[in-house]
Structure 1
Amino acid sequence: MSQPFRAVIFDLDGVLADSEPWWNEIDAKLLAEYGVTYRGEYHRNVLGVSYRLAVEFYKKTFGLSVPTDEMMRQRGEIAADFFAHRIDVFPSTKLVLQELRQ
């Protein structure tokens, strides 16, 4: 007899929701705080990399002297706001979560 599971772990992006299209806006908002106008061409340099690598790319590209950890925190706060208020989950996500609750 199998035991019921107690937890399920999901990766967010590509599994529960598609956040990739929003990263242009997230990074545009982040860089605007430093007086930098974001251009979509930067996206290919930070797509799929860690917050640290993305922030280090922006710091180097634009000569920003802000501490890496501070800029990572800011990027995380902006992203969290987008995830909470603007990014919708895939239609099947709600169904799967309902099934798992039962």
Structure 2
Amino acid sequence: MIQAVVFDLDGILIDSEPVWEEVRRAYVLRHGGQWQPDSQSRLMGMSTSEWATYLSQELGVGKDPAEVADEVIAEMRERYEVDLPLMPGAVETVYRIGDGYRRGLASSSPRSLIDRVLETAQLTQAFEVTMSTEEVERGKPDPDVYLTIADRLRLAPKDCIAVEDSSNGLRSAAAAGMAVVAIPHPTYPPQSDALALADLTLNDLSELTMERISSVPDRD
């Protein structure tokens, strides 16, 4: 029986993937690197250290990954201060789901951005547990962040359901043994094999109701 809903942040609660792509693409080109056609899809779900290393070593930025991370995150923070791109109904959905389920958040964003988003959106108190993939050994698609969330909620993964949009996010939640709800981003849709891992696919957050969640079959 599902007892907790674990939300992804980027692409689920905030429409940040276009912002991440714009900021990182411009950063790579500005520092003499070359953006590749599959760069954005590869980056989605990576932890901070993973994507900073990718920009530094594979895309040719040529700076230390720690410096790359600090500079890109600073640009993202500035963008969020000007305009936080909340998904329609995000705040209302989180609070509505809280009427029937415990709530967690598992994000590939760094902790500083997670805290900024939740504070700005007045969602800080809505989640029992929030985790960044920079706080676990491996980022998505590995299951570490979802396994840690379940452990901190003192629940078995099968008693949790994850809400994800990206290929790596869907793979991560499924690998952890959680039930999975997919809400694909129209601009950055997940790969078909990753989408096939979802137990339920919705068009947007308005369709994420307690009734739909309770209809998802047990992972037993």
TM-score band w.r.t. shorter chain? 0.5 to 0.7
Q: Is the 8 A contact 2:35 2:59 kept in 1?
A: no
Partner of 1:73: 70
- The answer to whether residue 80 in structure 2 is matched with residue 83 in structure 1 is yes
Unaligned runs of 5+ in 1: 1-9
Higher relative contact order (CA 8 A, sep 6+): 1
Deviations 1:2-56 (A, max 9, x none): xxxxxxxx86424531212222101112212312243442112211111210111
- The answer to whether residue 35 in structure 2 is matched with residue 38 in structure 1 is yes
Q: Is the 8 A contact 1:16 1:93 kept in 2?
A: yes
Q: Is the 8 A contact 1:52 1:72 kept in 2?
A: yes
Larger relative strand fraction: 2
Partner of 1:53: 50
Question: Alignment identity in percent?
Answer: 21
- What is the alpha-carbon root mean square deviation over aligned residues? 2.7
How high is the TM-score relative to the length of structure 1?
Answer: 0.66
Distance 1:74 1:46 in 2: 17
Query: What is the CA-CA distance between 1:83 and the residue it aligns to?
Result: 2.0
Query: What is the CA-CA distance between 1:68 and the residue it aligns to?
Result: 1.4
Query: What is the CA-CA distance between 1:85 and the residue it aligns to?
Result: 2.3
Distance 2:89 2:10 in 1: 14
Partner of 1:7: none
Distance 1:90 1:62 in 2: 30
Larger relative helix fraction: 1
How high is the TM-score relative to the length of structure 2?
Answer: 0.35
Q: Is the 8 A contact 2:33 2:61 kept in 1?
A: no
| Cα distance change, pair 76–84 in 1 and its aligned pair in 2 (3 A) | same
The aligned length equals 90
